[in-house]
Amino acid sequence: MKNSKKIGTITEQIVIAELCKLNFIILKPLGDFLPYDIVLYFKNKFIKCQIKTIKNRKNVLICRFLKNRINTKRYFMKKYKMNEVDYFLFYSYNTNKVYVVKHDTVNRSAYNLRLKQCLNYQEKLIHYAHFYELNKKSFN
């Protein structure tokens, strides 16, 4: 699979299926011109979610919090504004899991989620992937 649009569409469907398994109510806007892919209705609130595909590089999942857009002349990457998205839902084809990151906890353009402990046993400022795995309490 090399077509990024196709990969994104498949990823969205996988994430939506995982959310359905947990009985979340999911709203899908028509078109793809909004900054979010889906809206969850949870505890009488609407939660805007952006779905992204992530890759595993040496036991690290690299989560990018950037919008990508291409026109005929150039490729654009831009940060999401706080009012555009509430949560990012990342899917890894390597682990077959969904990871949830709240937008207001992000202060940079990328996060590294570690699948294994660091070789130097560093713990400070390390984000372990298992803490971000999708579950019923992800949106509390």
CA R_g for the chain: 15
Give all domains of the chain, ordered by start, each with its CATH number.
4-132 (3.40.1350.10)
Return d(Cα 63, Cα 91) in angstroms, integer: 10
pLDDT tens sequence across 61-112 = 887 767 766 666 666 667 778 788 999 999 999 999 999 998 777 666 677 8
Residues above pLDDT 90, as percent of the chain: 44
CA–CA gap between residue 24 and residue 16 (Å, rounded): 9
Question: H helices of 2-118, where?
Answer: 4-21
C-beta of residue 122 within 8 angstroms of C-beta of residue 10: no
**C-alpha 63, offset from chain centre:** 7
Task: Return the exposure string of 54-85: e unless at least 16 CB atoms fall within 10 Å of the residue's CB, then b.
Answer: beeeeebbebbbeeeeeeeeeeeeeebeeeeb
Mean pLDDT of 16-44: 93
The more confidently predicted of residues 17 and 68 is 17
